[in-house]
Amino acid sequence: MKDAVETPPDRTLARIPEVGSAPIGSDAERYLSELWESPPGWRGWLSTVDHKEIGLRYLVTSFIFLLIGGVEALIMRVQLAGPDRHLLTPEQYNQLFTMHGITMIFLYALPVLSGFSNYLWPLMLGSRDMAFPRLNALSYWLFLFAGLFLYASFPLGEGANAGWFNYVPLSGPEYNTGPNIDVYALGMVLLGISTTVGAVNFIVTLFRMRAPGMSIDKVPILVWGTLTASVANLFAVPSVSLAFFLLWLDRQNGTHFFDPLNGGKPMLWQHLFWMFGHPWVYVIVLPAMGIVSDALPTFCRRPLVGYAAVALSTMATMLLGFGVWIHHMFATGLPALAISFFGATSLAISIPSAVAVFAWIATIWLGRPVFQTPFLFFAGFVLLFVIGGLSGVMTAAVPLDLQLNDTYFVVAHLHYVLLGINVFPVIGGVYYWFPKFCGRMMNETWGKWSFWVLFIGFNLGFFPMHVAGLLGMPRRIYTYAPNMGWNTVNLITSIGSFVFAAGVLIFLANIAVSLKRGALAPQNPWDAPTLEWAVPSPPPPYNFAVIPLIASRHPLWEDRLDAAEGRSNLQTGYLLMDGRETLGTTALDAVPDVILKMPDDTYAPFFLALFSSLGFAGLLLDWNRFTFLMTAAAGLSLVAWMWPRQKLVQRVPGVSRVTEAGRG
């Protein structure tokens, strides 16, 4: 803590930001490293607030969940490979497909994108960290604990078993008496908190933390995608958290929200769930589409075609995404007017999606594509997106949907869109950014192999599902009779799913080997245009030694594009080093606005997450006193966190009656 200066002009409250440069190895650069480094060992591990550390944790954790969900799927495919098999009991099968859905949708699909965005946002935006680094740590810890919470009862054979959509009355107190659904309900409320604080962090980061000159029309599309998804989360997540909370009240406290005998309505569950659930579909694909929009141009050697159109289509998709939830409920007997309206909006949503698809195709068409592994994944993604989108248009047509509802056709559609639009860009994104994450290149030959095995396995596995659905095979059945005509398609699907799994294993082996033996990566191995490639691989703890000045959308390609806007300056810029500092800019034009003080590493987020999670465990086990204690402990962690600090200039300088005890 510095001594406060009393006489104005008070340099502790305002100053002209220093301008300079700090090349690698200079005294200033070494000092910055010391400032931003986390302490070594377990203390640093628990208390770090570095977005890069947190982003990688998100990625690794969500990949572990991906593997768990994948194993669950493979077990189901073994069961369904032939008719009348009895590897699994019906109850086991129910828990498997439910946990598979929960894992893939909630514990893999969004967190993996949060991992990318967390790692890349400050690097892409030219900042030294996210807007709220401590909140960032909190969102990770909560995600981890919520994941453990959701899985807590599964090994005991008491996992959630009413499908990830969890319809009442099947999930209500009458038909589901065990702890299965309570674990799911409380775990989802906990996970919702993590998602919400993460979303708040992204939104505020975008508004405040861009490098000077990076006006809103110069940010990468990944940023647009995550921003749109985060805004959607603010409005969608409360719906599902509330639905699960009301369900928990129904189950444990005798309320009547979904209880038809006392005036409750099971349809209320479906409304609340899908008001969240459909926007969520776009939440877990828009950032992935952003990955493609940013990385694909690198391999086409030209900027993305129709930047503004793609950015706007991102937002249009989300806006429309809030108005289509009824298409999950076409078969529930709603009035025809409502159904036709929502059928129409569901068809309309293909328009912004098509804008993005044509932008990617045009980028490939007008560019000079370099067929490296990431490009293959992105190009494959475009194809799968089109197939999944077309089956989506089919199911948006009400009469067809009435026929296809609850058949494997819908399963095929959702796996084409979710794997096609989430998994393929994610794996491509890992290949693309791995050098930045780890400082080494991934093996190209094995990369191509992994793509082709994944691509073939995926189509072999999931395309026949369309056929099974058209042949009338219902979803969520644990086995089927041999004379239904579904034997061959199911066998092909099961074979395909194992081929796909082999592709995932090749990919993981490639990561494991490349971590140790990959070729050392230069700063910008792909010759990419965006700002994250302007720092060493892997980036130093402070990201940018000087906050750069940005003049165009492609700061690293200005020498070859007609940059009418001027030249960015990446060597000389704001050199903020009076403690952990970064620059805050205005929301739209990115004019320097404020020198931001960034928090030091702290345990507060970890403890807040721990106590909150224990409080939820207390609710689950009905230990009221324990729950109360944990709530109080969580509250105290929050007070310690919020206590105004001299170091962050949250207090008036010169007041030092209270020591800096609130270090969390």
Please report, as residue ranges, which positions from 589 to 608 form the binding site for another protein (by CB under 8 A).
589, 592-597
Rounded to the nearest 10°, the torsion over CA 313, 554, 442, 415 is 0
> End-to-end alpha-carbon separation of the chain, Å?
16
663 binding another protein? (CB under 8 A): no
Which of 90, 157, 485, 644 touches another protein (CB under 8 A)? 644
Rounded to the nearest 10°, the torsion over CA 622, 626, 632, 637 is -110
Taking residues 544 to 583 in sequence order and writing x for each that binds another protein by CB under 8 A, - otherwise, the string is: -----x-x------------xxxxxx---xx------x--
Taking residues 268 to 307 in sequence order and writing x for each that binds another protein by CB under 8 A, - otherwise, the string is: x--xx--x--------------------------------
Which of 2, 15, 30, 43 touches another protein (CB under 8 A)? 15
204 binding another protein? (CB under 8 A): yes
Q: Rounded to whole angstroms, how far apart are CA atoms 358 and 310?
A: 10
Nearest to 323 by CA among 272, 279, 286, 281: 279
Contact window for another protein (CB under 8 A) among 117-125, 385-393, 495-503, 587-595 = 587-595
Which of 101, 220, 264, 321 touches another protein (CB under 8 A)? 264
Q: Total residues contacting another protein (rule CB under 8 A)?
A: 78
| Residue 587 backbone phi and psi in degrees, to 5 | -65, -40
Q: CA 271, 139, 322 angle in degrees (round to 5)?
A: 25
Q: Under rule CB under 8 A, which residues in 218-237 are in contact with another protein? A: 233-237
648 binding another protein? (CB under 8 A): yes
Contact window for another protein (CB under 8 A) among 114-122, 258-266, 476-484, 515-523 = 258-266
Closer CB to another protein, 589 or 622, in the complex? 589
Contact window for another protein (CB under 8 A) among 249-257, 286-294, 305-313, 325-333 = 249-257
Q: Rounded to whole angstroms, how far apart are CA atoms 252 and 248?
A: 6
257 binding another protein? (CB under 8 A): yes
Q: Rounded to whole angstroms, how far apart are CA atoms 188 and 623?
A: 19
5 binding another protein? (CB under 8 A): no
Query: Do residues 664 and 608 make contact, with C-beta atoms less than 8 angstroms apart?
Result: no
Closer CB to another protein, 527 or 565, in the complex? 565
Q: Rounded to whole angstroms, how far apart are CA atoms 429 and 116?
A: 8
Contact window for another protein (CB under 8 A) among 175-183, 251-259, 300-308, 440-448 = 251-259
Contact window for another protein (CB under 8 A) among 42-50, 56-64, 259-267, 362-370 = 259-267
Q: Dihedral sign for Cα 168, 172, 177, 179, please.
A: positive
432 binding another protein? (CB under 8 A): no
The SS3 of residue 222 is helix
Order of all β-strands in the sheet with 569-574: 19-20, 569-574, 547-549
Please give the distance of CA 198 from its chain centroid, rounded to a whole number.
Answer: 9
| Both structure tokens of 465 | 């599902």
Q: Under rule CB under 8 A, which residues in 54-113 are in contact with another protein? A: none
474 binding another protein? (CB under 8 A): no
Q: Rounded to whole angstroms, how far apart are CA atoms 154 and 139?
A: 24
Which of 9, 25, 41, 333 touches another protein (CB under 8 A)? 9
Which of 584, 629, 633, 640 touches another protein (CB under 8 A)? 584
Contact window for another protein (CB under 8 A) among 76-84, 178-186, 308-316, 585-593 = 585-593
The SS3 of residue 520 is strand
Q: Rounded to whole angstroms, how far apart are CA atoms 51 and 128?
A: 9
Taking residues 504 to 543 in sequence order and writing x for each that binds another protein by CB under 8 A, - otherwise, the string is: ----------------------------------------
